[in-house]
Amino acid sequence: MAVAVSTDFDFAAYLEASRQRVEQALDAALGPERPESLREAMRYSLLAGGKRLRPILCLASCELAGGTSALALPTAVALEMIHTMSLIHDDLPAMDNDDLRRGRPTNHKVFGEANAILAGDALLTRAFEMVALRSPGVAPERLLRVLGELSLAAGAPGLVGGQVVDLESEGRQVDLDTLEYIHLHKTGALLQASVLTGALIAGAEDDLLDALRTYSRGIGLAFQIIDDILDLTASSAVLGKTAGKDLAADKTTYPKLLGLEESRRRADVLVRESKEALQPWLAQAGPLVALADYITSRDR
């Protein structure tokens, strides 16, 4: 059941099984929302497909830390809710003004701006509810730490802070430090929270948590470098969102600062370091190691 470690781990099957499990949990999570129009707007974006990387990382990390992944499922759902909320708000006319997301019209295009803002707000609060009220079988002190990680990742110290700096950087050249700040906050923080919360639910010790921080920081940055590369090299049809958007918005990207080849090299180094951090837990780390490769593969 591992990668570099063993060859009998069927990662494709693992990924698909995990994804289906997450889809079911997401579908079940939005029961009682009222009014119906709000529920529809929340479901439209939450159930719009996607790779479900954050939930899957959370479940895998929980298992690596010796936990039963079922205990992490509500948190996995919460992570996808936060991610979805950030996409809905980022796509708004006042922000990135995007019409297309995951191959479909963006939330505000379908439901209007007010409902899109509110659906995002509702998904964000629902995420905290999932952990606080709908996570049976996990000790309260562990859930509190999970809620702490989620609040940091979603707010000013994470997603929001990254988006603010990203918007401020539009149309201007920024240096590598600023670019990294944006990505570590806008993408990296929630990926890190995905990995950490799974482990926290399983009661992981500090040394494993530290290793998972290194792992998630590395794949988070590598993920973003690849994203920049793909925006430059892939088509809208492949991406499921508008391609060439960074160029059009005159955004600073890794390829722009470092060139395509150096960007690719950096991504490779980060992925290797991420996997190396898990060396002491390699027997259980198969899924996370394979996920590092998958997340940062060229043809995702």
Does residue 289 bind a second copy (CB under 8 A)?
A: no
Q: Which of 7, 8, 13, 35 forms a contact with a second copy (CB under 8 A)?
A: 35
- Please report how close the Cβ of residue 34 comes to a second copy at its closest, in angstroms: 5
- By C-alpha distance, which of 26, 23, 15 is closest to 60? 15
- Dist. CA 100–CA 244, nearest whole Å: 13
- Dist. CA 187–CA 102, nearest whole Å: 17
Tokens of 194: 């995905």
The gap from C-alpha 185 to its chain's centroid, in whole angstroms, comes to: 11
Does residue 284 bind a second copy (CB under 8 A)?
A: no
The gap from C-alpha 161 to its chain's centroid, in whole angstroms, comes to: 16
- Please report how close the Cβ of residue 174 comes to a second copy at its closest, in angstroms: 12
Binding mask 114-153 for a second copy (x = CB under 8 A): xx-xx-xxx-xxx-xx-xxx-----xxx-xxx-xx-xxx-
Q: How many residues bind a second copy (CB under 8 A)?
A: 53
- Please report how close the Cβ of residue 81 comes to a second copy at its closest, in angstroms: 10
State the alpha helices, DSSP H only, in the chain: 11-29, 36-46, 53-64, 69-90, 107-111, 113-133, 140-154, 159-169, 176-183, 189-201, 206-233, 236-239, 245-248, 254-258, 260-277, 286-295
- Dist. CA 213–CA 295, nearest whole Å: 16
- Please report how close the Cβ of residue 8 comes to a second copy at its closest, in angstroms: 41
Does residue 47 bind a second copy (CB under 8 A)?
A: no
- Please report how close the Cβ of residue 291 comes to a second copy at its closest, in angstroms: 26
- Dist. CA 61–CA 77, nearest whole Å: 14
- Please report how close the Cβ of residue 29 comes to a second copy at its closest, in angstroms: 12
Does residue 87 bind a second copy (CB under 8 A)?
A: no
Does residue 268 bind a second copy (CB under 8 A)?
A: no
- Dist. CA 74–CA 26, nearest whole Å: 9
Which residue, chain included where needed, has tokens 């191959």? 103
DSSP secondary structure letter of residue 242: -
Does residue 48 bind a second copy (CB under 8 A)?
A: no
Binding mask 147-186 for a second copy (x = CB under 8 A): xx-xxx-xxxx-xxx-xxx-xx------------------
- Please report how close the Cβ of residue 241 comes to a second copy at its closest, in angstroms: 19
Please give the residue ranges that form the binding site for a second copy (CB under 8 A): 32-35, 37-39, 42, 85, 89, 92, 94-95, 112-115, 117-118, 120-122, 124-126, 128-129, 131-133, 139-141, 143-145, 147-148, 150-152, 154-157, 159-161, 163-165, 167-168
